[in-house]
Structures are given as C-alpha cells and as structure tokens.
Amino acid sequence: NRGIACLAALSETHQILQKTCREFANAELAPKARHHDREELYPAEQVRRLGELGLMSVTVREEYGGSGLDYQAYAIGMEEVARGDAAVSIVMGTVECLLNNLYLGAVQQHGTEQQKQDFLVPYTQGEHIAFYALSEPGNGSDAGAASTTAKLQGDSYQINGTKAWISNSKEASGGIVFATVDKSLKHKGITAFLTPKDVPGLSIAKKESKMGMRATSTCQLMLEDVQVPRSRVLGAPGDGFKIAMQSLDCGRIGIAAQATGIAQAALELAVDYSQKRVAFGKQLARLQLIQQKLADMATRVEISRLLTWRAAWLMDNGLPITKEAAMAKLHASEAATFCAHQCIQILGGMGYTTDLPAELYYRNARVTEIYEGTSEIQRIVIANAVLRELGR
Ligand code: CAA
Ligand code: FAD
C-alpha cells in the first residue's frame, strides 16, 4: 500500500540528516538570508558549506562523488535548507536538476560515462554550480514550443537562440540547454545539450530584478553560433522533451520541499511572535482568531510535507511520480504563500517591515507557484492523470 508505507517513521539516517541540516540552517543560513536578499549577493560561502555537507548531490551515487542517499533524504535536506534561506535552496535544486538529467529516465541513464565525468563529478561538491535552460522569452509553460535551434554541421551542433529566466546562470560553470533540431517536429525535435558556460557565443544578457529569491541570479542566456560536439547530446536527438519532463517530475519534489521549508519558517515565526506580543491584555496566541490562523497554517504545512514525502517515497521505490509530484508541488507552493501571508497578518505592522523575515518569506514563497511549472500547469498534469485513471 503506497499511502501507508510512506508514513512510516523516518529512518535513523533521515533523522540525523534532518537534525544536521536544521542546525546548519539555524547557524549559517537564516542569520545571513536577509542581508543576501537585500544586497542581491550570491551566497557563495553557504553553497560551499552545502557541498561539504554532501547536500549539493544528495542522490548522486558515491562513485561519482555524491552522497548516495535517496529522494526522501533530498526532500528532507531541501526543506531544512529552504527553512533557513530559500534562495540557497534554489542553487541546491537547480544543480540536482542537472544531475538528475544525467541519471534518470525510461532508459535509466541518459548520460554516457564521459558525460558523467564532465558534467556530474565537478558539480557534486558545491564548487561548481549548474544552470538548466528550458524556458525561452516566448514560451515558458509551453515548453514543447522551443525556438532555440540546433543545426548539425559536421560533428558539432550549432546552437542559436535565447533562453529566459535561467537560475544560477551568472555564477554557473555549465549546464543543460534544450534546443530543437527540427521545429516542424514540435516537442519531438527537442534535444538536450550539455555545455560548459565558458564557450564562444554563449553569453549572459539581462539579469532580472526580482521580487524574491534575490540572492540567486536569474538571467537570459544568449546563444550565438555556439558549437556543441555531438558527444555532448544527452540521450538521442529528439529525446529532449521527455528528458526535461522526467527531470521536472523530480524537480517538482524539490520545489515542494522548498515551499514546505518556507511555510514551516513562517509558522515558527508566527508562533514565536504570537506568544510574545500582548493585545487586549492577552498574548496574541490566546486569541482564538489567531489560533485559527495557526491551526490552518500548521495543517497545510503537514499536508505539504506528507505529499512531498509520498512523492519522494514513490520515486525511491521506482514507481510513477508525475501526478504525485505535481500534487505535492501544487499544494506546497500555495500553502507556502498562504502561510507567509498569514504570518504577516499575525505580526501586524511588524510583518510588513524588513526588521523581521515575514515579508521575505512571502516574497520567496510566491515564485514557488510559478517556476518548475505554474500552479495552472500542475493542475493540468493532475487532471490529465486523474482522467486517465478514473475516466472512461
Ligand atoms: N514524463 C515522461 N514523458 C512525458 C511526461 C513526463 N512527466 N509528460 C509528458 N511526457 C511525454 C508524453 O508522453 C508525450 O509523449 P509522446 O510524444 O511520445 O506521445 C510527450 O511528452 C508530449 O506530452 P504532452 O502532449 O502532454 O505535452 P504538452 O506539450 O501538452 O506539455 C506540459 C505538457 C505538462 C504542459 C509541459 O509542457 C510542462 O510541464 N510545462 C511546464 C514547463 C516547466 O515546468 N518549466 C520549468 C522550467 S525549469 C524552472 O522553472 C526552474 C528551475 O529549474 C530552477
Ligand atoms: P506563461 O507560460 O506565459 O504563462 C503565463 C500565465 O498563463 C501563467 O499563469 C500560466 O499558468 C498561464 N497559462 C499558460 N498556459 C496555460 C494553460 N494551458 N492553461 C491555463 N493557464 C495557462 N526556467 C528554466 O528553464 N530554468 C530556470 O532555471 C528557471 N528559473 C526560474 C527562476 C525564476 C525566479 C522564475 C520567475 C522563472 C524561472 N524559470 C526557469 C521559468 C519558469 O519555469 C517559467 O516562468 C514558468 O514555467 C512559466 O512560464 P512563463 O513565465 O513563460 O509564463
């Protein structure tokens, strides 16, 4: 029974990981989060420490320099890191997305041994970070409509186009670019290319000025006659859309965990403040309308965590996750925005200032409803699955 098995108590390894990550987040992430956000500073030192703790490659096998743990461990680590600083958890999630591409899929392993040596091993320790370039200025949700082109000339593809909203792209050393080898084939022309960032023709254009997650860069990538050898095609030409969808299925578990971490942080701040602040001669926490908010927040946090852990458990057991990961991402992201919103309300005027992190939680939460597939896209994925499962 899928549902019951994933509710079993955390293993000792998971409990130790959770405690280690929580202590690390309290000591080294949360105290710097608002400074990094305000100054739009990339958290290089924190990412390096994530690498030391094995959190930049949780699910990568040890032979490639990873921690060799499971997706449940990844979800636990992401939640705790995001609880401390959600922007740092984006770096962790994006790198995991690249690593997943080399590992996962119907063919089990898309990446060749050489590709793994070049694009897996260097990214496992936090020294190098990666980008994942799927979206374009003209198409985000409709990922199959990619207009970046890849033309085979001799033994290399020549790539031209613009990728948009690419996380980490300013600091990254390399990553994955999706481009079409034949636009008339629609999604069946999309191909995944591994490329270092430091190659002729690849440049960073506009850096977005964002509402939240300001400590990480989000930029446009310009590709002008970028040469990528055939040996750097991941899978086969035309496999790219499926590779992207499979890695987004896993990525959505990560964003669900990230959102759960933000919601948990908002809940903890709201509880703390409501017990310190007095109104009408009582702690806020004794007022039943405030208790209602705390109860609704706590319930949504726990539903988010359970859905996320269930999706991770399915992944760890080799079962389909598309619907379950979408449900976890949908619920957890909307719960994070809800909890951060309620946290601001419970803090009153203090919630609206930058003296306390409630407003940061809100700004960071909001994007979890947008990236790795908007809430509307998650609902489409879930509805399609439900119609297949239950429809005529
Ligand atoms: N796994 C494997 N294959 C899949 C799949 C999955 N989860 N989902 C779809 N496919 C396959 C289908 O089986 C189908 O295969 P055939 O061609 O063999 O029939 C093919 O892909 C096309 O499927 P659809 O017709 O369902 O595709 P669609 O064009 O209607 O799009 C979509 C489906 C779900 C809307 C998809 O486009 C999507 O997920 N869009 C959102 C994009 C997104 O999430 N972008 C995130 C970018 S990364 C980011 O934000 C942040 C970050 O990394 C840090
Ligand atoms: P659109 O697709 O134009 O959608 C606009 C609105 O229309 C949304 O509300 C959407 O839900 C709705 N909509 C679209 N289609 C439908 C439909 N069929 N039915 C109902 N409603 C629909 N992308 C990457 O590839 N790599 C990254 O690293 C990355 N990082 C990001 C970081 C940040 C901070 C942000 C903001 C975005 C990032 N993205 C990244 C891009 C992100 O995945 C897209 O923004 C997202 O998929 C939505 O695409 P869009 O912005 O083009 O919106």
pLDDT digits (tens, 9 = 90+) for 260-304: 999 999 999 999 999 999 999 999 999 999 999 999 999 999 999
CA distance 308 to 83: 15
Of 273 and 124, the one with more pLDDT:
273
So what's the pLDDT on residue 7?
Answer: 60
Distance (Å) from CA 203 to ligand 1 centroid: 27
Residues having CB closer than 6 A to ligand 1 are 93-94, 97, 132, 134-135, 141, 143-144, 167, 187-188, 241-242, 245-246, 248-249, 251, 322, 371-373, 377, 380-381
Is 39 catalytic? The answer is: no
Residue of 80, 192, 46 lying closest to 131 (CA atoms): 192
**Catalytic hit among 28, 96, 136, 372:** 372
Lowest mean pLDDT among 92-106, 293-307, 341-355, 367-381: 92-106
- Is a pLDDT exceeding 70 seen at residue 104? no
Check pLDDT > 80 for residue 5. Answer: no
Tell me which residue has tokens 């590779």.
243
Distance from C-alpha of 71 to C-alpha of 330, rounded to nearest angstrom? 18
Averaged pLDDT of the chain: 94
Confidence of residue 333 (pLDDT cuts 50, 70, 90): very high
pLDDT confidence tier of residue 2, bands split at 50, 70 and 90: very low
- Cα(44)–Cα(8) distance, rounded to whole angstroms? 36
Alpha-carbon dihedral of residues 368, 374, 375, 379, nearest 10 degrees? Answer: -140
Helix axes 71-84, 30-39, angle to 10 degrees: 70
Q: Helix 358-366 and helix 30-39: axis angle, to 10°?
A: 70
pLDDT tops 50 at residue 106:
no
Q: How far apart are CA 254 and CA 166, in angstroms?
A: 17
Q: Who has greater pLDDT, 95 or 243? A: 243
Neighbours of 169 (CB within 10 A): 26
Compute the distance between CA of residue 284 and CA of residue 231 in angstroms, rounded to an integer.
Answer: 62
**How many beta carbons lie within 10 A of that of residue 367, not counting itself?**
22
Instruction: Supply the pLDDT for residue 95.
Output: 82
For a ligand 1 pocket test, name from 136, 180, 187 the mutation site with the most ligand atoms within 8 angstroms of its C-beta.
Answer: 187
Ligand nearest to the CA of 144: 1
Pick from 31-35, 73-77, 106-110, 267-271: least confident: 106-110
111 pLDDT higher than 90: no
3-class secondary-structure state, position 178? strand
pLDDT of residue 64: 87
Tokens at residue 254, please? 């990560």
pLDDT of residue 103: 62
What is the reported pLDDT for 9?
78
Instruction: Say what the pLDDT of residue 97 is.
Output: 77
DSSP alpha helix (H) spans, 62-112: 71-84, 86-103
What are the φ/ψ torsions at residue 348 (nearest 5 degrees)?
60, -135
Span from the CA of 143 to the centroid of ligand 1 (angstroms): 7
Q: Is 60 exceeded by the pLDDT of residue 167? A: yes
pLDDT of 8: 65
d(CA 284, CA 277): 6
The secondary structure of 297-352 as a DSSP string is HHHHHHHHHHHHHHHHHHHHTT---HHHHHHHHHHHHHHHHHHHHHHHHHHGGGGG
Helix (H, G, I), strand (E, B) or coil at 47: helix
Which of the residue ranges 53-67, 88-102, 117-131, 287-301 would you say has the lowest mean pLDDT? Answer: 88-102
Is the per-residue pLDDT at 196 higher than 90?
yes
Does the ipTM exceed 0.90?
yes
Rounding to the nearest 10 degrees, give the CA dihedral for residues 194, 254, 273, 25.
-60
| Distance from residue 311's CA to the centre of ligand 2 (Å) | 22
- Give the Å distance between the CA of 53 and the centre of ligand 1: 33
Residue 107 has pLDDT above 70, yes or no: no
What's the pLDDT at 78?
Answer: 96
Closest Cα to atom 39 of ligand 1: 373
